[in-house]
Structure 1
Amino acid sequence: MKLSTRAIYGLRAMIDLGVYSEQEAVSIQSIAGRQNISVSYLEQLMAKLKRAGLVESTRGACGGYRLGRPAEEISVGDILRVLEGGLEAAQCPGTSPEENCETKDICVAKLVWKRINDSITQAVDTLMLGQLIEESRKKQEEKM
């Protein structure tokens, strides 16, 4: 499984947003500058995240973005699914009850794909944005 720049940049933007939006909303330009992401690309990512309720925006002079929910309630999996769609490393019809697979009853390779997919799901769904924000703050303090 290879994640696209949507996932990579989107996760970085969400961490940045969590770090810097504690006191006030954060502009796309400031996130883009700190994370070295193009403003237009970041606008596309934020639009997807906003539709999913992971971020909220405010217009006006003091406008910008904030997290849509507490960081402790947003998993990395939530973010990646919004930006990437599914997270399956392999899409095997034998692992889905809805799919029709001729060799479903005798195929053992599906066990490999199911185990890999389950491992990915478990990893990204138990890693919370709040944890990453804390780590980011620690790294920033170490630099000072």
Structure 2
Amino acid sequence: MQLTRFTDLGLRTMMLLASGDSEGRRVTIRTVAAAAGASEHHIAKAVARLVDLDMVAARRGRIGGLSLTDAGRTVSVGWLIRRLEGDQEVVQCEGVTPCPLLPGCRLRRALADAKEAFYRELDCHTLDDLVRDARLPLIQLHLTTTEGIPR
């Protein structure tokens, strides 16, 4: 199973916020985009979804920035990926040109079971598990303190 770029950017954003949050630093969409090698537009879309899910708090203005909510700090990775990916099937069996094997096919059920096993395993991990006690920093960000003074 391959995750979408949107989900990848959402996960990276959460991990970067968790690492910045632990140091009390302000993180902006611009800093996340630079660190993730993505456009600010794509990060903004992912952040908007994370805000809708109550995982991230966004504050505008000179002292604004992004921070994890309490729910965002303890979220299971499986729950988060389910919400970012949506409940898509691994393969599209129906549609404009449905698969001719559909009536007797067992592949669809096997893939659905495998997808659920994938999510169940990720449910065992939290965002904190992904960033806790890292021996090396996830990435060197040029973050600022909440007072706006570069560190």
TM-score category by the smaller chain?
0.7 to 0.9
For residue 134 of structure 1, what is the amino acid of its counterpart? R
Native 8 Å contact 2:76 2:126 kept in 1: yes
- Gaps in structure 2 of 5+ consecutive residues: 94-102, 141-151
Aligned residue number for residue 66 of structure 1: 67
TM-superposition CA deviations, 1:57-88 (whole Å, max 9, x none): 11221111111225552111232223211265
CA distance 1:110–1:3, shift in 2 (3 Å): closer
Structure 1 unaligned blocks of 5 or more: 93-102
> How far 1:42 sits from its partner (Å)?
0.3
Change (3 A) 1:6 1:108: closer
CA distance in 1, matches of 2:109, 2:86: 22
Residue of structure 2 equivalent to 1:119: 117
Higher helix proportion: 1
Aligned Cα root-mean-square deviation (Å) = 2.8
Give the distance between the partners of 2:135 and 2:72, measured in 1 at CA. 16
Which has the higher relative contact order, 1 or 2, with Cα contacts under 8 A spaced 6 or more apart? 2
Q: How far apart, CA to CA, are the structure 1 residues paired with 2:5 and 2:119?
A: 19
Query: TM-score scaled by structure 2?
Result: 0.71
Q: CA deviation at 1:28?
A: 0.8
CA distance in 2, matches of 1:52, 1:3: 18
Query: 2:4 aligned with 1:4, yes or no?
Result: yes
